[in-house]
Amino acid sequence: MLRDAERQKLFTRRMTLLAGGKLALFSLLAGRMYYLQVLESDRYRTLADENRINLRLLPPPRGRIVDRDGEPLAVNERNFRVLVTPEQAGDLEATLDAIGKIVPVGEETRRRILREAKRRRGFVPLTVRENLEWEEVARIEVNAPDLPGVMIDVGQTRRYLYPAETAHVLGYVAAVSERELTGDPLLELPGFRVGKSGVEKVHDLALRGTGGSSQVEVNAFGRVIRELARKDGQPGGEVRLTVDLELQRFIARRLENESASAVVLDVHSGEVLALVSTPAYDPNAFNRGLSGEEWRTLNRDPLTPLVNKAVAGLYAPGSTFKIAVALAALERGVVTPGQRVFCPGYLDLGDIRFHCWRKHGHGWVDLHTGISRSCDVYFYELARRLGVDRISQMANRLGLGVTLDLDLPGERAGLMPTRKWKLETTGVPWQGGETLIAGIGQGNILTTPLQLAIMTARLVNGGFAVTPRLTRELRVGFSEAIERREPAGPFKSIGLNPLHVEWVRAATDAVVNEPGGTAYTARIAKRGFEMGGKTGTTQIRRISKAEREYGLKKNLELPWRERDHALFIGYAPIAAPRYAAAVVVEHGGGGGAVAAPIVRDILLMAQERARPGDGVLRSAAGAAPSGAGAAPSAAGG
């Protein structure tokens, strides 16, 4: 009996201890549940929402680029792309293998994604493929449950409507490089593009806009169920250029199959109506991403399609430079219009003979015939009397050898040599023979086609320092806010004597419109549309004495790279010049035979497309400017 009582007592104690333990455990669990559900409810509600709701940055539409009449040049199109988020994918290489079984993924693409995954934060999506076909999108969506971290995104891609004609003006956009990351989250978005060259680069921030945001609800697999809220960003601004698309396209076709460049501008406002460099490249290819082989092909092309020759091509100006020499000689009083120089076909300086392009010479030559017939001996003599420093000073005033600050990257200043420059650069004093060669625009002188067009404009607009501009206005987003890009004018005078300008203008008119002028065969026959100008042919190789004695080969008989460059600068109409143009055809041959007809066609079309008063700027005076080794061999004008 006693033993049963003890057993009962022991059982009761154990039950009590067990019940107490359970009660303590339950109390602890209840307390923990109270802590989590009541005291920490806000925190865990936020964490749950973060898993359920994703906040996404929305890239803004990139602004359009249009021509002076509003014709679109660069627009946006829909772009399907497949993205992968490294931290969600887990084994990134395995995920890429899985994607590769559905849509092609090249080895170069794999290396790029793995490299970017190491450099960027794990939650930043990476672009695997862009510009997917609809069938490819469907295949990926069907397999989405088996592709963790992979999603289809609908973005925008840049499209250039006239790639061959506008590549060097517009430039291109491409993916953001590592060194371009500035902390702006927009730059880390998959597929985001920034301007790399041309207008796209100059106005990148304005064209880029500001990002928006979107709140979306997702399920456990990360698939979007619905959009909860959206805040649109600010679209990129619209850039309106001064370029006339039809004129630009016409020139590009006219220069097709040539390594050449052309610039057309309004002589009063400086508006660039056309700026062409051939051959061109396809900027759309940079947007989608060039392969290594495509990039190497472009870089190795001897015709340098990536170089904008109109602003970065450096050429000896040849006989077009005689305009600057003539103005300097008249200003310094070393010659008068009626003073004549005899040209027997050469000029001797010491024991070196400098030849005229016309073997038997021009006979007695004055300023008018010196320019219209492009007599080299006449300008050798002017240069000898002037000295290179005075020539360079006048050239700089006319816009040669200086940066013109066009709103386009890559512009080069060229070179106007002086005695000081040569001594500091080479340690060798300037030689008299170098001055003679400078007098016909060769030797160390280097200019760009843009500078030659500006020189022409400053000559015929009354001597005002017009500067080029490419941007007409900037419209911000969808608003009516417009920033008009006015010229830097009213332009100041460069100090030319109007009488000197008139004499030189008359001679350049005769170049084209007077029998015997070096571009007479390229004249504009349409009444009221006549042009004036100056031919130029620059020699790019040394001519031996034997060649000179036994006869020079014609340019077309020589290998392409040994042929002369063909240049022509022109303006129209003669009565009241409004347009200036400069054309350089690399290894084209004679300026009068090759470049002058091109400028003729360009200026004729520009005049036929003219709109009254468009682009005219009033001058500083208050009125619209109006026109009132071996012995070097000269290349003919």
Peptide bond into 573 cis (omega under 30): yes
pTM recorded for the entire structure:
0.82
Distance (Å, rounded) from C-alpha 37 to C-alpha 45? Answer: 9
141 contacts 150 by C-beta, under 8 angstroms: no
Specify whether 626 is catalytic: no
Three-class secondary structure of residue 524 per DSSP:
coil
Three-class secondary structure of residue 600 per DSSP:
helix
Tens of pLDDT, residue by residue over 574-602, are: 999 999 999 999 999 999 999 999 999 99
Three-class secondary structure of residue 231 per DSSP:
strand
Q: How far is CA 439 from CA 324, 377, 423, 559, in A?
A: 9, 9, 20, 28
Apex 245 CA angle, 242 and 249, nearest 5? 135
Q: Please state, rounded to an integer, the average pLDDT across all residues of the chain.
A: 85
478 vs 165, which has greater pLDDT?
165
Distance (Å, rounded) from C-alpha 197 to C-alpha 281? Answer: 13
Distance (Å, rounded) from C-alpha 581 to C-alpha 568? Answer: 8
Catalytic: which of 197, 259, 261, 319? 319
Q: What is the SS3 assignment for 40-66?
A: CHHHHHHHHHHHHEEEEEECCCCCCEE
Distance (Å, rounded) from C-alpha 37 to C-alpha 298? Answer: 65
- For the cut 80, the answer to whether the pLDDT of residue 175 exceeds it is yes
Distance (Å, rounded) from C-alpha 63 to C-alpha 59? Answer: 12
For the chain, the maximum distance between any two Cα atoms, rounded to a whole number of angstroms, is 156
Tens of pLDDT, residue by residue over 403-450, are: 999 989 999 999 999 999 999 999 999 999 999 999 999 999 999 999
Distance (Å, rounded) from C-alpha 496 to C-alpha 463? Answer: 6
Distance (Å, rounded) from C-alpha 601 to C-alpha 597? Answer: 6
**Cβ-proximal residues to 52 (8 Å cutoff; 6+ apart), any chain:** 217, 218
Tens of pLDDT, residue by residue over 498-528, are: 999 999 999 999 999 999 999 999 999 999 9
> What are the two backbone dihedrals, phi and then psi, of residue 243, each rounded to the nearest 5 degrees?
-70, 140
Chain centre to alpha carbon of residue 568: 23
Q: How far is CA 632 from CA 317, 359, 471, 541, in A?
A: 16, 14, 43, 10
Tens of pLDDT, residue by residue over 270-303, are: 999 999 999 999 999 988 777 778 889 999 999 9
> Which domains occur in the chain, in start order?
77-157 (3.90.1310.10)
Three-class secondary structure of residue 503 per DSSP:
helix
Tens of pLDDT, residue by residue over 521-570, are: 999 999 999 999 999 999 876 665 555 554 555 666 788 788 899 999 99
579 contacts 466 by C-beta, under 8 angstroms: no
